[in-house]
Structure 1
Amino acid sequence: MGEKHTYFNRDLSWLSFNKRILQEAGNPDVPLYERIKFLAIYSSNLDEFFIVRVASIRSIISIDKKKIYKRLSDDPRVVLDSILREVHVQQEEFGRIKREVTIPELKKHGIVLYRDEQPLNDHNDAINHYFRSRILSYLQPHILTGKKTRKVFLENKQLYFVIDLVNQLNESEYALVNIPSNFLDRFVKLPTINKLHYFIIIDDIIRENLDFLFPNYKIQGCYSIKLNRDAELNIEDEYSGDLVKKIQKQIAKRNLGVPSRFLYDATMSVEMAEYLKGRFDLVDDDMVPGGRYHNMNDLFGLKNPLSPELEYDYKSPLKIKGIERYKSIFDAIDKSDQLMHFPYQSYDYVLRFFNEAALDPEVKQIKATFYRIAPESFICNALISAAINGKKVTVFVELKARFDEQNNLKWAEKMKAAGVKIIYSMPGLKVHAKVAVITRRNSEGKKVNYGYFGTGNFNEKTATIYADQALLSTNEKLTTELDQLFLFLEKQETPNFETLLVSQFNIIDRFESLIDREIENAKAGKKALIIIKINNLQHQGMISKLYQASEAGVKIDMIVRSICCLIPGVKGMSDNINVHRIVDQYLEHSRAFYFYNNGDDELYQGSADWMNRNLERRIEVVFPVLKREFKEQILKMLELQLNDNIKGVMLDVELNNVPVEGKSKVRSQIDFYEYLGSIE
């Protein structure tokens, strides 16, 4: 790796991505309720960032600097300061959009969200009734000061009010009361008056009733607070003992983690902020001033009384003609491999793949890997039915999928009880591959393996909003190697992968050789082109290889949704590299890797991003797209995304999201849907 090669910091790069989300929240061309969703996404993203990434950086800072700083490319103290400065700027913009744009525009459309103003008299009875009948049972008011005070623990991501009180002796006291937004809808619909739709946030319902909670006190002020805690599972030894029990134990401890951010209303007095810092064992780095309201990811729950107005026109998923012609999905796959594009095409075909297998008497065996399971999973229910129907079903369930551990464990136990063979997490590895294989006798009596190779999870819920691809194939090379992967997961038998690119085995070497081939072609004066679409790019070895390709004259176009540590457009290092980013109504989640190869092009798709974790500490599967018609479909998608000048931006050397120029308007997600609809 050359010393001249430099890289963006991964966390500051991620903040650039979240800033792009915020730009959509403030984009007047986006329907109002979609902008509200982007505010919610921004807030949810930032919460996870603090409880995972910032908590990790803070932990590093607390360790002996001499021992660990030498292994890091960036001083964590400098990075943390940069993060906090950038977050502050973004939070100010978030508040401005919400106050000055979103709430006034809601009002223009006859939707009133009470904020600072006093509710109408006609609503007072409804507010008081809701407080006494719904909210009151969840509240635990507590006087913080005085001799009788008890120890209070602030739960992770939960909302609280700190109230400034004056008692009957004219003494100042502080009190705490929880805001039960985790139990109740945050936004309460009030009676419609004169065709105006009114909402009030439960925070303000509680504010309106503080006298009821503290009848013998004078209310001086009321300020919202929230504490983020480190939410990583700290499993010190995955190699001995019962890993499932260790994960269960760590899940129970997740909300007990050390603080990573204490968010408080900036109008709070300095004296109160200092008191809270001492009371809850916080330090200066924890203290982050914010607005009147926190947890704005709850904006997802703000109902649209005018729906479907003020929302995107979500198109109905397309049918796949190559499957619809056949009664059985297996007959369709026997005739030809099938490539599916979600959510543009119906995810029901994936459900059919498993549902039909559960009842088909010719199906003998089903194997699948799960990373994030839907809360109500049709696929898991199909596998349960398959096991009950006498088929051999083997499922690998990753229990270390962050924030989905409990749900995955629930489904694993349910499937196991029905007779499904469950393989749990492998020590030291996460299995992130999205694959399945069904063994069946076809109409000719031949035993055939039907392989499923995906870029996205087996998750019916996220499949409606994540843009992904999946291949159904009976290609013997692909399915034989897929079977080898499952033997490795079951019995740790050493596989031999020649067609598939699999992390832990051949993925880095194969990607490097594919890039090297383009480098050699460029040096020979031939056309050399690489197109890569991924969610995250951090692995310095792969970035360095791309820099080398750029220096050799290879043209490299990249579509990187989120983290991008590669710096594009630097003279002598990355002149030939462009980095695009797409943020639109669907979350771009698929991965694609295209190599021109002097006209004999190769295209791959799969589950692997180019992060250290994906290439070095996980099991990922990347598969070749072999059929020409499928290559053309993926290349059309890539072409549209590289030319998207409505929802696409380009990353510059300062991590700015720069608009894409173009004479004709291209919106890749809409245009790709129309393209797929035109395919016979």
Structure 2
Amino acid sequence: MKDTLPRETANNYLNRDLSWVEFNWRVLEEAQDPNTPLLERVKFLSIVSSNLDEFMSVRVAGVKDQLKAGHTKKDFTSYTPAGLFKRIMKRSSKMVAEQYKTYREILRQLTKEGIIFTSYEDLNTTQRHAMDVYYHDIVFPVLTPMAVDQSRPFPLVHTQALYLAVVLMKDGDDPDDEPYFAILQVPSNLSRYITVPGRTNSKKQEFILMEELIEQHIHTMFSGYTPISVSAFRLTRNADLTLNEEGAEDLLEEIEKELHRRRWGAPVRLEVQKGIHPYALEQLKEEFEITDNIFEIDGPLDLSFFMKLAGSLQGHDHLRYKPIRPVYPQEFMDTEDLFTTLRHREVLVYHPYESFDAVTDFICQAAYDPHVLAIKMTLYRVSGNSPLIQGLARAAESGKQVTVVVELKARFDEERNIAWARKLEKSGCHVVYGLVGLKTHAKITLVVRQEPDGLRRYVHVGTGNYNDNTAKLYTDVGFFTSNKVIGEDASALFNEVTGYSAPHNWKAFGVAPTDLMDKLFDKIRREARNAAEGKPARIVAKFNSLSNQQMVDELYAASQAGVKIDLIVRGVCCLKPGVPGLSENITVRSIVDRFLEHSRIFYFENAGDTEIYIASADWMTRNLTRRVELMCPVFDKDIKNSLINILDLYLKDNVKARSLQPNGLYEHVRSDGEPPLRSQFEAMRISSWKTTVRES
């Protein structure tokens, strides 16, 4: 389990990267929770690996770059790059050891349920024959052994791909001679786990891992040589793109080149199978020039394959959460014309409890509506077969003015976004790649429609991406409106992103990087003044991360003025809550549960005249200063109350909520005799109640 000793608390801030490590610990705790259905625990175990991969390839890569450049200056949390790297390695190593301890326990539980990962030696004769045939017919033809010697240099090793390091002796050579060395990649286009034919009269499902099957047949790859050792290894490279946007004539082509160069990114982490042959390890360390970030893994490398397994197993629904069936928003249920509804009222949609189909229908109806003149939309991450893309393409083909701001720099989705950008351009859409030096992270759609009383703007603003797949897995809110002020701001925002418009004097929006941070500071300071004057003052804010030092300082100052501040922060938090004289009026809680908490909702008491906002932005430096972000107010009283109810659910959660302590560790929130309340499950219950009312 995690250590419980206070960590370094040299100043008033927690370190961003160490805070992220603690977040991944919370994900691991979900994999360890016996109250979580077994195959859901398998998924959480997979997510720990995926999270750690991204952390190493981006954040740790950045720290290593600082070390290589000789940086010794402390950051605002009092860490030098060297000290931070040492601490990250210590905590990450403990996490990985705990992860594989959890893996072994989960395997035992899976075995009890008849889901068995077996070894080749434990197969019976019939099963071995079936695996031999599978290897020779399917696996062997796609394997490529790559020798490493004086005439054949070390081949390119792809980031986060699984390889086998093979140490060999030539038949007839002296055993004291230097061995031969080769590597081969475990095919990534074949399933990592292979279904083994069942035993007679057995209902158990057996699987064998691809790398073990290859190891058992490794002699088929090296005739004339005797394999001495076969060990898995995996390399993580620096995945951060380094773009010269100013000098790039075509950003799309520049990103394609950079994606190609990413294959040769500097090595950051080396994972090796426990017990790897010393000669093989020395060859890998020498080739990758890596000595200080090597993980020796007691189990299969890269547990992310568990995600696919958990989703594909048949006949084990009792080991999963019951499927959620998102309800269609009640406000749209009795009409086929969403615009008619939105002319008279605003609509809030709470995903995944309410269906993302409402967003798709909004875009598709606009695409086919002959009265719609223009559609403008931002796209950051979209799904593999997005119906929104089809709708936008159809709208352009029918002669509508369609403008799509595609963010090509959305990390790890660059290739997909390039493909969508080209498809949209071919259909006649105007595709814009955003502003130089900034990622366009705002989530907004504007529809301009000709109506009997003139042009009317319809707007959708969301906290999450326009992605129908993640909308089933992430909690987000979306807001539909035809409010005139919001519509005018929406038009101005698109003009600023796509043209040469000067920064707008926003009537409703807060927009980064121009004024969002200042607006948030003004609202926090207003709460502090109200508290000092004895007026009602409170802040409740839900977002994914808080790492901007100025923002933390503003919250500290408000706390000292008497403002009650409740922060619901899923991941990184650099603020220390509950410190006497500094932050005793601040609480920070994190909720990790079935769905990924992703919504951004901000509440300001404002002396009784409550203000509520939804936003695309976390309170991080990158969001507030280096991205195009959007914060949108909600004016409708009923929708304000709905958002307050959502925040209240999170603040009452005493099942999955964890409270941040001043030392950077998290503790489960105690119920103190209150009945258990699990915010996500309660949200689902409320959604079901809505459905019952609609049908009655």
Q: TM-score, normalised by structure 1?
A: 0.96
Paired residue for 2:94?
A: 89
Instruction: Give the Cα–Cα distance (whole angstroms) in 2 for the partners of residues 367 and 529 of structure 1.
Output: 36
- Listed as ranges, the matches of 1:243-262 within 5 Å are 243-262=251-270
Paired residue for 1:301?
A: 308
Instruction: Give the Cα–Cα distance (whole angstroms) in 2 for the partners of residues 432 and 149 of structure 1.
Output: 45
CA pair 425-499 structure 1, distance change in 2 beyond 3 A = closer
* Correspondent of 1:312 among 321, 327, 333: 321
What is the number of equivalent residue pairs in this alignment? 673
Instruction: Give the Cα–Cα distance (whole angstroms) in 1 for the partners of residues 281 and 10 of structure 2.
Output: 46
Paired residue for 1:137?
A: 141
Instruction: Give the Cα–Cα distance (whole angstroms) in 1 for the partners of residues 610 and 651 of structure 2.
Output: 18
Paired residue for 2:3?
A: none
CA pair 485-176 structure 1, distance change in 2 beyond 3 A = same
Q: Deviation digits for residues 72-122 of structure 1, max 9, x if unmatched?
A: 8520000001011101100111110111x1111111111111158532322
- Confirm whether residue 666 of structure 1 aligns to residue 677 of structure 2: yes
1:641 maps to amino acid = Y
Does the aligned pair in 2 maintain the 1:207–1:222 contact within 8 Å? yes
- Listed as ranges, the matches of 1:461-610 within 5 Å are 461-494=469-502, 495-610=504-619
CA pair 181-534 structure 1, distance change in 2 beyond 3 A = farther
Deviation at 1:498, TM superposition (A): 2.3
Does the aligned pair in 2 maintain the 1:374–1:460 contact within 8 Å? yes
Paired residue for 2:5?
A: none
Q: Deviation digits for residues 526-583 of structure 1, max 9, x if unmatched?
A: 3321101000110111110001111111111111001111111111111111111111
- Listed as ranges, the matches of 1:605-616 within 5 Å are 605-616=614-625
Deviation at 1:69, TM superposition (A): 5.5
Deviation at 1:71, TM superposition (A): 8.6
Q: TM-score, normalised by structure 2?
A: 0.94
* Correspondent of 2:166 among 138, 163, 175: 163
Does the aligned pair in 2 maintain the 1:164–1:221 contact within 8 Å? yes
Instruction: Give the Cα–Cα distance (whole angstroms) in 1 for the partners of residues 152 and 465 of structure 2.
Output: 48
Deviation at 1:148, TM superposition (A): 4.5
2:192 maps to amino acid = R
Instruction: Give the Cα–Cα distance (whole angstroms) in 1 for the partners of residues 35 and 89 of structure 2.
Output: 30
Paired residue for 1:45?
A: 51
* SS in structure 1 of the partner of residue 179 of structure 2: strand
CA pair 272-562 structure 1, distance change in 2 beyond 3 A = same
Instruction: Give the Cα–Cα distance (whole angstroms) in 2 for the partners of residues 664 and 176 of structure 1.
Output: 60
Q: Deviation digits for residues 646-666 of structure 1, max 9, x if unmatched?
A: 111111122222111112101
1:294 maps to amino acid = L
* SS in structure 2 of the partner of residue 593 of structure 1: strand
Does the aligned pair in 2 maintain the 1:532–1:593 contact within 8 Å? yes
- Listed as ranges, the matches of 1:70-469 within 5 Å are 73-99=78-104, 101-115=105-119, 118-145=122-149, 147-168=150-171, 169-171=173-175, 173-193=179-199, 194-238=202-246, 240-278=248-286, 280-302=287-309, 303-442=312-451, 444-469=452-477
Paired residue for 1:27?
A: 33
Paired residue for 1:61?
A: 67
Instruction: Give the Cα–Cα distance (whole angstroms) in 1 for the partners of residues 642 and 421 of structure 2.
Output: 36
Q: Deviation digits for residues 474-518 of structure 1, max 9, x if unmatched?
A: 000001001000111121212221211111222111111111111
Instruction: Give the Cα–Cα distance (whole angstroms) in 2 for the partners of residues 488 and 343 of structure 1.
Output: 32
Instruction: Give the Cα–Cα distance (whole angstroms) in 2 for the partners of residues 305 and 470 of structure 1.
Output: 34
- Confirm whether residue 11 of structure 1 aligns to residue 52 of structure 2: no
Identity %: 33
Instruction: Give the Cα–Cα distance (whole angstroms) in 2 for the partners of residues 616 and 425 of structure 1.
Output: 15
Instruction: Give the Cα–Cα distance (whole angstroms) in 1 for the partners of residues 537 and 573 of structure 2.
Output: 23
Paired residue for 2:6?
A: none
Does the aligned pair in 2 maintain the 1:503–1:621 contact within 8 Å? yes
1:597 maps to amino acid = N
Deviates more, 1:255-264 or 1:318-327: 318-327
Does the aligned pair in 2 maintain the 1:224–1:294 contact within 8 Å? yes
Instruction: Give the Cα–Cα distance (whole angstroms) in 2 for the partners of residues 150 and 248 of structure 1.
Output: 27
Does the aligned pair in 2 maintain the 1:522–1:554 contact within 8 Å? yes
Deviation at 1:417, TM superposition (A): 0.8
Instruction: Give the Cα–Cα distance (whole angstroms) in 2 for the partners of residues 150 and 514 of structure 1.
Output: 61
Does the aligned pair in 2 maintain the 1:143–1:173 contact within 8 Å? no
Deviation at 1:281, TM superposition (A): 3.7
CA pair 412-321 structure 1, distance change in 2 beyond 3 A = same
1:82 maps to amino acid = R
Deviation at 1:376, TM superposition (A): 1.1
Deviates more, 1:26-35 or 1:150-159: 150-159
* SS in structure 2 of the partner of residue 261 of structure 1: strand
Does the aligned pair in 1 maintain the 2:434–2:497 contact within 8 Å? no
Unaligned ranges ≥5, structure 1: none
Instruction: Give the Cα–Cα distance (whole angstroms) in 2 for the partners of residues 185 and 269 of structure 1.
Output: 27
Deviates more, 1:11-20 or 1:637-646: 637-646
1:212 maps to amino acid = T
Does the aligned pair in 1 maintain the 2:237–2:264 contact within 8 Å? yes
- For the aligned residue pairs, the C-alpha RMSD in angstroms reads 1.8
Q: Deviation digits for residues 346-388 of structure 1, max 9, x if unmatched?
A: 1111110011111111111100011112121110110000011
Instruction: Give the Cα–Cα distance (whole angstroms) in 2 for the partners of residues 70 and 18 of structure 1.
Output: 22
Deviation at 1:314, TM superposition (A): 2.3
* SS in structure 2 of the partner of residue 477 of structure 1: helix
1:188 maps to amino acid = I
Q: Deviation digits for residues 224-267 of structure 1, max 9, x if unmatched?
A: 11110001111134355322221111011111100000111231
Instruction: Give the Cα–Cα distance (whole angstroms) in 2 for the partners of residues 159 and 240 of structure 1.
Output: 34
1:114 maps to amino acid = T
1:165 maps to amino acid = L
2:613 maps to amino acid = Y
* SS in structure 1 of the partner of residue 195 of structure 2: strand
CA pair 190-621 structure 1, distance change in 2 beyond 3 A = same
CA pair 276-355 structure 1, distance change in 2 beyond 3 A = same
Deviation at 1:626, TM superposition (A): 1.3
Instruction: Give the Cα–Cα distance (whole angstroms) in 1 for the partners of residues 124 and 653 of structure 2.
Output: 47
2:142 maps to amino acid = Y
Instruction: Give the Cα–Cα distance (whole angstroms) in 2 for the partners of residues 107 and 454 of structure 1.
Output: 43
CA pair 180-424 structure 1, distance change in 2 beyond 3 A = same
Q: Deviation digits for residues 17-51 of structure 1, max 9, x if unmatched?
A: 00000000111111111111001111001001111
CA pair 181-637 structure 1, distance change in 2 beyond 3 A = farther
CA pair 307-242 structure 1, distance change in 2 beyond 3 A = same
